[in-house]
C-alpha cells in the first residue's frame, strides 16, 4: 500500500519567524540549562547551540506542543567511559530516554576525517546498546520536510510510548551512568570496585555517587553485621524497567 503523502511546509532560516509561545519556552529552557551547566556543556550551549538546534526544538514543539523534559546539549557517559553530547535529550521519566540530533550537510560532514567518522559511528552504536532511543534529522529535512519530521516524532512516541507517572529525580552524569549500568548489568549487587572498573572511574568517585543514588532512593546499600556498606542494589529493577 502506498504511504500517504504529507503536505510539506518549508521553514526558511533566512527569514525565520518562530511562534512567540515557542520563543518564550525556548528562552526559558536555554536559560535554565546554561545556569545549571558547567564546563564543556556550558560552552556548547553558549557557543555551538545555533539555528539548526533551535529549528529542531521548534519542530519538536510543533509535534509535541511543549519543550517540557527536553534538555539541550545533554551530557552522557557512554559504555566505554567516554563523554558524549546530544543536541537534545527527552527525559520524561527515569525509564525513558530519547536523544534528538540534527546533522547538516556542510563542511563539517563533507570534510570529516576518517577517524572522526569512525568515532561517530561507534558513538551511535554505544548509545543504542545502552538502550537510548535515537532520532536523527537532517537540517534540510527539518527545513523542507517539516511535516514529515513532525510525523516521524509522533510515530516514534506512539511506538515507544510516553513514560509518565514516575517522579522526576535530578541526576548528574555519573549518577545516570551508574544507574544505567545497574539497570542493564547481569550482576545484582554492585560494588565500588566493579562500577569503577566498568565505567573507568576511580573507586572513590564510584562510591560517592552510589551513596548519592542511595540517598535519592534509587539504590539500596547492603550492610554487613558491623554496619559497613558492602555493596548496592537497585531498589526494584522492575520499577525502573517499566514498559521497556
With respect to residue 166, please indicate whether it lies within any of the assigned structural domains. no
The predicted-structure confidence for 2-61, as pLDDT tens digits, reads as follows: 333 444 444 445 556 788 999 999 999 999 999 999 999 999 999 999 999 999 999 999
Cβ count within 10 A of residue 115? 8
pLDDT computed for residue 238 by the predictor? 38
Q: What are the CA-CA distances from residue 96 to residues 11, 31, 135, 196 (Å)? A: 30, 24, 14, 25
Mean pLDDT, the chain, integer: 81
| Contact criterion met (CB below 8 Å) for 88 and 64 | no
Q: Which domain holds residue 201?
A: 173-241
- For residues 117 and 42, membership in a common domain is answered with yes
Q: How confident is the model at residue 239 (pLDDT cuts 50, 70, 90)?
A: very low
The number of residues making up the chain comes to: 244
- For residues 32 and 143, membership in a common domain is answered with yes
Helix (H, G, I), strand (E, B) or coil at 138: strand
With respect to residue 4, please indicate whether it lies within any of the assigned structural domains. no
With respect to residue 3, please indicate whether it lies within any of the assigned structural domains. no
- For residues 180 and 156, membership in a common domain is answered with no
With respect to residue 118, please indicate whether it lies within any of the assigned structural domains. yes
The predicted-structure confidence for 117-170, as pLDDT tens digits, reads as follows: 777 788 888 888 888 999 999 999 998 888 889 888 888 887 776 443 334 567
- For residues 61 and 85, membership in a common domain is answered with yes
The cell for 53 is: 538546534
CATH number at residue 220: 1.10.10.10
Q: Is pLDDT above 80 for 89? A: yes
With respect to residue 6, please indicate whether it lies within any of the assigned structural domains. no
- For residues 70 and 121, membership in a common domain is answered with yes
- For residues 187 and 129, membership in a common domain is answered with no
What's the CA gap between 244 and 226, in Å, rounded?
A: 38
Which residue from 2, 80, 74 is spatially nearest to 41, judged by alpha carbons?
Answer: 74
With respect to residue 168, please indicate whether it lies within any of the assigned structural domains. no
- For residues 127 and 188, membership in a common domain is answered with no
What's the CA gap between 37 and 43, in Å, rounded?
A: 9
Q: Is pLDDT above 50 for 234? A: yes
Q: What residues form DSSP beta bridges with 70?
A: 90
> Quick one: 226 exposed, middle or buried, by C-beta within 10 A (0-12, 13-18, 19+)?
exposed
pLDDT computed for residue 60 by the predictor? 93
Number of structural domains, the chain? 2
Quote the pTM value: 0.60
> Quick one: 192 exposed, middle or buried, by C-beta within 10 A (0-12, 13-18, 19+)?
buried
The predicted-structure confidence for 156-209, as pLDDT tens digits, reads as follows: 887 776 443 334 567 787 887 887 777 767 677 899 999 999 888 899 999 999
- For residues 65 and 156, membership in a common domain is answered with yes
Q: For strand 96-103 and strand 133-138, is the pairing parallel, antiparallel, or unpaired? A: parallel
Which is more confident, 117 or 74? 74
- For residues 188 and 70, membership in a common domain is answered with no
With respect to residue 106, please indicate whether it lies within any of the assigned structural domains. yes
- For residues 70 and 19, membership in a common domain is answered with yes
Which residue from 26, 31, 97, 13 is spatially nearest to 68, judged by alpha carbons?
Answer: 26
With respect to residue 7, please indicate whether it lies within any of the assigned structural domains. no
Question: In the listed set 128, 160, 192, which residue is the last one of a domain according to the structure?
Answer: 160
- For residues 53 and 138, membership in a common domain is answered with yes
Question: In the listed set 114, 136, 160, which residue is the last one of a domain according to the structure?
Answer: 160
Question: In the listed set 108, 138, 160, which residue is the last one of a domain according to the structure?
Answer: 160
- For residues 101 and 128, membership in a common domain is answered with yes
Amino acid at each position: 500500500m502506498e504511504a500517504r503523502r504529507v503536505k510539506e511546509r518549508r521553514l526558511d532560516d533566512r527569514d525565520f519567524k518562530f511562534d512567540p509561545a515557542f520563543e518564550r519556552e525556548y528562552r526559558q529552557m536555554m536559560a535554565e540549562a546554561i545556569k545549571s551547566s558547567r564546563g564543556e556543556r556550558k560552552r556548547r550551549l553558549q557557543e555551538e547551540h545555533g539555528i539548526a538546534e533551535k529549528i529542531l526544538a521548534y519542530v519538536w514543539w510543533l509535534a509535541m506542543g511543549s519543550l517540557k523534559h527536553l534538555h539541550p546539549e545533554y551530557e552522557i557517559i557512554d559504555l566505554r567511559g567516554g563523554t558524549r553530547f546530544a543536541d537534545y535529550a527527552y527525559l520524561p521519566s527515569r525509564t525513558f530516554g530519547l536523544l534528538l540530533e540534527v546533522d547538516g550537510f556542510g563542511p563539517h560532514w563533507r570534510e570529516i576525517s576518517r577517524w572522526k567518522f569512525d568515532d561517530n559511528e561507534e558513538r551511535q552504536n554505544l548509545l543504542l546498546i545502552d538502550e537510548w532511543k535515537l532520532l536523527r534529522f537532517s537540517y534540510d529535512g527539518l527545513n523542507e520536510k517539516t511535516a514529515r519530521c513532525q510525523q516521524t516524532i509522533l510515530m516514534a512516541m506512539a511506538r515507544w510510548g510516553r513514560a509518565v507517572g514516575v517522579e522526576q529525580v535530578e541526576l548528574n552524569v555519573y549518577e545516570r551512568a551508574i544507574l544505567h549500568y545497574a539497570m542493564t548489568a547481569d550482576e545484582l549487587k554492585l560494588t565500588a570496585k566493579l562500577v569503577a572498573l566498568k565505567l573507568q572511574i576511580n573507586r572513590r568517585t564510584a562510591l560517592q555517587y552510589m551513596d548519592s543514588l542511595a540517598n535519592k532512593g534509587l539504590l539500596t546499600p547492603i550492610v554487613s553485621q558491623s554496619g559497613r556498606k558492602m555493596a548496592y542494589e537497585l531498589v526494584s529493577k522492575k520499577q525502573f524497567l517499566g514498559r521497556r
